[in-house]
Structure 1
Amino acid sequence: MTEMRIIAEPGVPQVILVREFKAPRELLFRAYTEPELVQRWLGPRNLELVVNQLDPRHGGRWRWTQYDQDGKGYVFHGLYHGTPSPERIVQTYEFDQAPGTVYLNLITFEETGGVTTLTQNTVFFAVEDRDLYVDGGMEHGLRTSMRRLDDLVTQLAEEAQP
């Protein structure tokens, strides 16, 4: 589909990601909320992802660990706000190596004619937090994850065809 767009304006504590997928939004929603699917697309290929917890409901928690080749773990966690649906997911996000730096993700899935536009709006409390996120390899991780997500939902869509 289309290449991913990242909007990260200097001085604004926000990063917006936009990407289209040739798949129904229900498949994208499943990919975000089913542990066995999350493990197949989230993060760089050189890291192993273990979904420790994924409870997609209002007040539910999510937690995963990415392991590098040396076995070092990187833990991410957060809470869901509101009931996740194929239209949108609202969640907080925190990296254990930066405790107290919490940001809010609003992920929307908008489908038109079999094409779903995924928009992820990530809001930070401070520009400095956003800058650390951007400077910490965010773009590479997002691009890799979105390519992997595209491969996954394409496969799921093909499997669903009669």
Structure 2
Amino acid sequence: MLTRKFAAPADLVYAALTQPELLRRWHGAHGWHLTGCDVDLRPGGAWRFVSHGPDGAEMEMYGVFREVEPPVRLVQTEIHRGWPEGAALVTTVLTETGGHTTMTITAQYPSPEIRDQVVRSPMRRGAGEAYDRLASLLDHEKRDHS
């Protein structure tokens, strides 16, 4: 489980998690850029992200939305190209209190082996850096819409 609090309302956080024009501005660790971003935001709709990073590295993730409840909940499958077979089930819940939003993400992996591989990967650092970038984007968006 990953939890992060943002100084922004839930509708803005939700938009940043689901709108390609905003996703391209923050998604990924430092040095990574989202170059492909397809989002069909509806139950049964597919999503696909392609990112490019240092030394020509490429990462692709994709899946299908199972639940779409703006601005409080997303449930989707997630598959990383090149990782062991099987999709994670990722649930994102946004809880707003006093103009601040707590994002809680829970990922269920199809096997302990895949879960362990994810834990050993640099995902924690990458997610932290990406959510720092998201916080900066949210601050910028709030100022522009004030």
Q: Structure 1-normalised TM-score?
A: 0.85
Within 5 Å, which residues of 2 pair with 1:127-138? 127-138=112-123
Structure 1 counterpart of 2:77, from 88, 92, 97:
92
Contact preservation (8 Å) 2:27, 2:33: no
Q: Conserved in 1, the CA contact under 8 Å of 2:84 and 2:114?
A: no
Q: CA deviation at 1:138?
A: 1.2
Partner of 1:153, secondary structure, is helix
Give, in whole Å, the separation in 2 of the partners of 1:64 and 1:159.
Answer: 27
Instruction: Show the 5 A alignment for 1:115-134.
Output: 115-134=100-119
Q: Which runs of 5+ in 2 are unaligned?
A: none
What secondary structure sits across from 1:97 in the alignment?
coil
Aligned to 2:135: 150
User: Which TM-score applies when normalising by structure 2?
Assistant: 0.94
Query: Once the two structures are superposed, what CA deviation does each residue of 1:26-65 show, in whole Å capped at 9, x if it has no partner?
Result: 0100001110111111111212212331111111111011
1-side partners of 2:46 and 2:103: how far apart?
A: 22
Question: What is the Cα deviation at residue 99 of structure 1?
Answer: 5.1
Bigger fraction of residues in helix: 2
Structure 1: which 5+ residue stretches go unaligned? 1-15
CA contact (8 A) 1:57 1:84 kept: no
Q: Give % identity.
A: 32
Q: In structure 2, which of residues 25, 38, 58 is the aligned counterpart of residue 40 of structure 1? A: 25
CA contact (8 A) 2:24 2:37 kept: no
What is aligned with 1:11? none
Q: CA deviation at 1:153?
A: 0.8
RMSD: 1.3
2:124 equivalent in structure 1? 139
Per-residue deviation, 1:73: 2.2
Aligned partner of 1:73 among 28, 49, 58: 58
Distance, in Å, in 2 between the alignment partners of 1:127 and 1:57 is 29
Contact preservation (8 Å) 2:16, 2:22: yes
